Amino acid sequence: MKSTVKTVSNGRKKVIDACHEPCAIEKGMRLIGGKWTGSIIYHLKDEPVRFNDLCRMLGGASKKMIDQRLKELEAKGMVKRTVIAQRPVAVTYQLTPFGQTALGFLEDMRKWSEQHDL
C-alpha cells in the first residue's frame, strides 16, 4: 500500500496508510548500507580474497572496520570465510550466491556515481 499525505479540514497534513515497517529499499540499505560494505562486496566479485589483500584494496578503511563488516556480511549469509592456513592464520573471503545477487545494482551505482562525478 502506498502512503499519501492529505490536508484535513483544519489545514493540517495527515498521512494516510503510513508504513509501519521498513520498505524494501530500507531493508536493503540496512543489509548493505554500512560504511565500506558495498566496496567490500564489489572487491570480492571475481574470486576469493585474503584479508590483508582486501585491506590493501580498501586503503582508507581500518582493519578493524573491515573485519567488522566482513563478520556482519558473513552473519547475513553474503560472504563465506575460509581458513586456508593455521599458522600463521590466513583466511580468504568470497561472495556466496546470495552475496553475488548484490553485484548488479552495485555496478549500476558505480556507473551512476561516475556519470554524475560524485
Q: What is the pLDDT of residues 30-81, one digit of tens each?
A: 888 888 999 999 999 999 999 999 999 998 999 999 999 999 999 999 999 9
C-alpha cell of residue 25:
529499499
> Is residue 47 in a domain?
yes
> Is residue 96 in a domain?
yes
Number of domains forming the structure of the chain: 1
Between 30 and 20, residue with greater pLDDT: 30
> Is residue 14 in a domain?
no
In the predicted model, is pLDDT for residue 1 greater than 60? Answer: no
Neighbouring residues of 103: CB distance < 8 A, sequence distance ≥ 6: 41, 42, 45, 95
Enclosing domain of residue 110: 35-115
Helix-then-strand count for the chain, H and E: 6, 5
Using CA atoms, how far apart are residues 47 and 65, in angstroms rounded to an integer? 21
> Is residue 6 in a domain?
no
> Is residue 9 in a domain?
no
> Is residue 48 in a domain?
yes
CATH of the domain at 78: 1.10.10.10
